[in-house]
């Protein structure tokens, strides 16, 4: 099938103009590039680095964070030390097989992080792990 190069007023246009499509896609790309880092919500901590491989995730893990001031957060809500287990059980719907990631700021006492991990393990939680930043070569 051949198309005429000259255009009379009644012939249909046979070419596709992709410029508006490309413009929209570039705008969406920029929007997603700007908003993607903002989607990682949580308590701001300075994590230590580790060369260990990351763990595969089957379901959404529960995150327990200890910031540089020693304050404890479950997901984004602040929790007192004596109410940690009750809150974790409530959030995990009494499932002790829930994966719990402990995020501890690198400036706090290591014993404090281990104390909280021991508290979780002693309460029957079997999948408690530490989170660190990937190791960056210097």
Residue 40 CA to residue 37 CA, distance in Å, equals 6
CA atoms within 13 A on the CB side of 110: 1
Cβ-proximal residues to 124 (8 Å cutoff; 6+ apart), any chain: 96
pLDDT tens, residue by residue, 4-41: 555 566 677 677 788 888 899 999 998 888 877 666 55
Share of the chain above pLDDT 90, in %: 2
pLDDT at 64 over 80: yes
Report yes or no on whether pTM surpasses 0.85: no
Residue 22 CA to residue 17 CA, distance in Å, equals 10
Domains of the chain, with CATH numbers? 49-134 (3.30.420.270)
CA neighbor of 98 nearest in space, from 126, 78, 121, 120: 126
**Mean pLDDT confidence for 49-64:** 68
**Mean pLDDT confidence for 29-55:** 70
Query: What value does the mean pLDDT of the chain take?
Result: 78
∠ CA 110-116-120 to the nearest 5 degrees? 140
Which one has a higher pLDDT value, 51 or 16?
A: 16
pLDDT at 56 over 70: no
pLDDT tens, residue by residue, 93-102: 887 878 888 8
pLDDT at 104 over 70: yes
């Amino acid at each position: 099938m051949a198309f005429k190069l000259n255009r009379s007023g009644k012939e249909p246009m046979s070419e596709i103009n992709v410029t508006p499509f490309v413009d929209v896609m570039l705008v969406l790309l920029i929007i997603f590039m700007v908003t993607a880092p903002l989607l990682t919500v949580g308590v701001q901590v300075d994590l230590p680095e580790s060369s260990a491989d990351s763990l595969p995730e089957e379901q959404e893990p529960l995150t327990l964070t200890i910031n540089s001031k020693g304050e404890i957060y479950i997901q984004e809500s602040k929790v007192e030390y004596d109410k940690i287990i009750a809150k974790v059980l409530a959030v995990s719907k009494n499932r002790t097989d829930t994966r719990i990631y402990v995020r501890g700021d690198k400036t706090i006492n290591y014993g404090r992080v281990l104390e909280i991990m021991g508290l979780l393990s002693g309460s029957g939680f079997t999948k408690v792990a530490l989170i660190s930043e990937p190791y960056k070569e210097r």
